Amino acid sequence: QMDRWILSEYYRLIDEVITNLDQYEVAPASTAIVRFLDLLTNWYIRRSRRRFWKSESDIDKATAYATLYQVLVGLTHILAPFLPFMTEFIYQNLVRSFDKNAPESIHLAAYPRADASKRDKDLEANMEHVRTAVTLARSIRQEKNLKVRQPLTALTWVIKDEDAGKKLADFFPVIAEEINVREVNIIHNDEELVELSALPNLKLLGKKVGKKMNDVSNAIKALDTETLRAVETGGTVKIDEFELTADDIIIKRSEKPGLAIQSDQGMTIALNTNLTPELISEGLAREVVHHIQNLRKESGFEITDRIQLALSSDSETLRVAIESFKDYICRETLALELSLNETTGGTELKTGDHIFAAKIRRVETPSA
């Protein structure tokens, strides 16, 4: 799915660049390139890291590398008119070093051609919706000071169009991994997420109700949720002799307890922010992984190096988290062995209010 998407976006880029350059519109062509670079680096490559790094050389890994190579070579050709010397250098290393029969210079090679049959516009649109949802959810986490490493129970996505919701269901695993939630749900209105309250629109109502403003205002504030939703969808409500519409009433939304919500461009995302002991433990384990990964980097280890890992902590909460998620910690840090001792004499680290020590040692593995 990710491969089909980035290739579709690549052919979209070719079309946009050629169309604009044919009209001598350099700025829009450049903007399209910058957009594609963001999609390639911050979404496709980052989302595909595990495929690139995994130890087994299977079809999935080979496909990821082949797709990335195709896109990088094509992008180099697209950039040639903009960056002639840099792209020539890249071309010689990326293409000519492997294919001596390729044109001697990138500027002697054919420019990429647009091919509408290679695009999947539905996939492009769906992925854009997914990326927008992820951006909103990250914004909620930042606002509520919830690190992405802290798992949450659920993300709820309000999509009014039921058919669109069904199409986006295939992307739930992507969203769940990006936002670190256990499950993703789609609903078609926000009834489950918010509580409604109402205030009078004093500017408009003054002329309509005159001296009865105080009584009408109190009646508006007392309106129930069902009535307010009816008014929102074009209905009216009668108070005394006055027929009131949505223009006369200011309807306010407030998050239900345990939820955090953001909306943008007609999209609403809600995160369940209630933390169970299990979620807290998993969050601590992820923080430990983060520190060990940094320690590996500071120690000059290669990405593929296997290690022995020794941890110690006086925090019972942290020790429980490490024991509960031992397999996860080992898998993420490439640790062949993890020991949890009273003391390790290693590097002192801190996650939240919990202090622990870690010692890592590279393990020599037999070469294949």
DSSP state of 329: H
Q: What is the pLDDT of residues 31-44, one digit of tens each?
A: 999 999 999 999 99
Any domain includes 368: no
DSSP state of 359: E
What's the chain's Rg over C-alpha atoms? Answer: 28
Query: Are 98 and 29 in a shared domain?
Result: yes
- Flag whether pLDDT at 55 surpasses 80: no
Strands 335-341 and 306-313: parallel
Query: Are 214 and 232 in a shared domain?
Result: yes
Q: What is the pLDDT of residues 148-205, one digit of tens each?
A: 999 999 999 988 777 777 888 889 999 999 999 999 999 888 888 888 888 888 888 8
Query: Are 267 and 148 in a shared domain?
Result: yes
Last residue of a domain, one of 84, 119, 154: 119
Nearest CA to 18 out of 127, 116, 126 is that of: 116
* Alpha helices (runs of H) in 200-357, residue ranges in sequence order: 202-209, 213-221, 225-232, 277-298, 316-324, 326-333
Q: What is the DSSP string of 263-308?
A: EETTEEEEEE----HHHHHHHHHHHHHHHHHHHHHHTT--TT-EEE
Question: Which residues have CB under 8 Å from 240's CB, separation 6+?
Answer: 209, 212, 215, 216, 219
Q: What is the pLDDT of residues 125-135, one digit of tens each?
A: 999 999 999 99
- Flag whether pLDDT at 367 surpasses 80: no
Any domain includes 293: yes
Last residue of a domain, one of 223, 255, 287: 255
Nearest CA to 43 out of 74, 73, 1 is that of: 1
Strands 267-272 and 306-313: unpaired
**pTM across the whole model:** 0.78
Query: Are 231 and 251 in a shared domain?
Result: yes
Query: Are 204 and 227 in a shared domain?
Result: yes
pLDDT band, residue 231 (cuts 50/70/90): confident
Amino acid in the structure at residue 5: W
Any domain includes 294: yes
What is the C-alpha separation between 124 and 130, in angstroms, rounded? 10
Query: Are 308 and 165 in a shared domain?
Result: no
Q: Whole domain around residue 142: which residue ranges? A: 122-191+257-275
What is the C-alpha separation between 91 and 102, in angstroms, rounded? 10
Query: Are 248 and 310 in a shared domain?
Result: no
**What pLDDT was estimated at residue 368?**
42
Any domain includes 41: yes
**What pLDDT was estimated at residue 19?**
96
Last residue of a domain, one of 224, 242, 275: 275
Query: Are 138 and 245 in a shared domain?
Result: no
253 vs 200, more confident: 200
Say how many domains are in the chain.
Answer: 4
What per-residue string of b and e applies to 50-64 under the rule 16 or more CB within 10 Å gives b? ebeeeeeeeeebeeb
